Structure 1
Amino acid sequence: MSPALDHFYTHPIFGAGITVIAFAIGLQTQRRWSWAQPVVITTLLIIGTLLLLRIPYASYKIGGDLISTFLAPATVALAVPFYHHAKRIRHQLRPILIACTLGAIFGILSAGLVAHLAQLPREVILALLPKSATAPISMEVARHIGGKPELAALASVLSGLLGSIIGLPLLRRLHINADIPTGTAIGTSSHGLGTARLLRESEYLGSISALAMALTGIITALFTPLLKHWPG
């Protein structure tokens, strides 16, 4: 690789630029085929570009990290639809809180149990425990209890991605159509990606999911450290 190209590929604008372009293509693809998932398309396009041009991941990451800095503010911004519908949701806070608590605890324990039965290394198990929380929270929780933050982020994203793809169709097939159960289930299990999916259905559904996502993140952050001595 020539010095000029090496300098270009390591410039922050390159990594950030191809990420934005790839995501724009993903959105356009979804407009044509509703089943297409922009995050998957973006990931595949970025990987393909790096492999085709033989660009080291470390070079891309310099600019890719610029995008990551917006992850936390974007997550906080999901509180806006909740604010718009706070009066409607207020009367359902108790069942939502109970469902989020049970869902978060079950998600933590089930991930740990499956990983333990698969005889995965202890640091991997600890990274998988907070997968039900959104990535910024799961990374910090994993770092605190001794797991790998990068693996925690991957598990969180994959969990959200899977839920955003199959969550709503699965609930509909089970004849779960009410707004509160739907929003709570998606927000608890699929956090940001699932919430974004529901926001395309209706802002009210998205607001319930955003609340569930926030509650699940808090519960996960409080409960997971109690399992930091999980046997490996």
Structure 2
Amino acid sequence: MLLSVSTKGVTTAVALALSEKMGGIVPVAVAVVCISGIYGGLVGPWICRRTGVHDLRATGFALGINAHAGGTAMAFGINPTMGVYSSLAMCLNAILTAMVLPFVITWLV
């Protein structure tokens, strides 16, 4: 279960590949990624406003890292600048997670 849930911060395609490679339960990984993306896209902008983050770039970056595709879609709907930063963060997060997560999981497990 840990192997499947550990991929929640990346897009579905990357989570699918990582979960399969590490021996996780692929349907659980996909479900967790979809739920976190939808929930983060809906609640993320509100949380940023409530915590005092009003910069479009910072909000977009936060949405891209935490809510990946769902957050990026929401960010583009709010403002194009926010969407660009969200897309950048989503891509960087996917690359870094794909390179680092297998090593971290083997070290922890």
TM-score range relative to shorter protein = over 0.9
| Inter-partner Cα distance in structure 2 for 1:145 and 1:224 | 9
Residue of 167, 183, 194 corresponding to 2:44 = 167
| Inter-partner Cα distance in structure 2 for 1:163 and 1:135 | 14
Residue of 75, 91, 107 corresponding to 1:214 = 91
Whether contact under 8 Å (2:72, 2:83) holds in the other structure is yes
Whether contact under 8 Å (2:9, 2:66) holds in the other structure is yes
TM-score scaled by length of structure 1 = 0.45
Matched, 1:134 2:11: yes
Matched, 1:151 2:28: yes
SS in 2 for 1:200: helix
Counterpart amino acid of residue 200 in structure 1: G
Whether contact under 8 Å (1:132, 1:191) holds in the other structure is yes
Whether contact under 8 Å (1:134, 1:156) holds in the other structure is yes
Write the deviation string for residues 3-34 of structure 1: whole angstroms up to 9, x where unpaired: xxxxxxxxxxxxxxxxxxxxxxxxxxxxxxxx
Cα RMSD over matched residues? Answer: 1.0
Residue number in structure 2 paired with 1:192: 69
> Gapped runs of 5+ residues in structure 1?
1-123
Whether contact under 8 Å (1:198, 1:209) holds in the other structure is yes
Q: CA deviation at 1:227?
A: 3.0
Return the structure number with greater relative CO, CA threshold 8 A, min gap 6: 2
Matched, 1:178 2:75: no
| Inter-partner Cα distance in structure 2 for 1:143 and 1:166 | 29
Larger Rg: 1
Whether contact under 8 Å (1:141, 1:221) holds in the other structure is yes
Aligned residue pair count: 108
Counterpart amino acid of residue 133 in structure 1: V
Residue number in structure 1 paired with 2:104: 227
SS in 2 for 1:176: coil
| Inter-partner Cα distance in structure 1 for 2:89 and 2:58 | 10
> Gapped runs of 5+ residues in structure 2?
none
Whether contact under 8 Å (2:16, 2:26) holds in the other structure is yes
TM-score scaled by length of structure 2 = 0.94
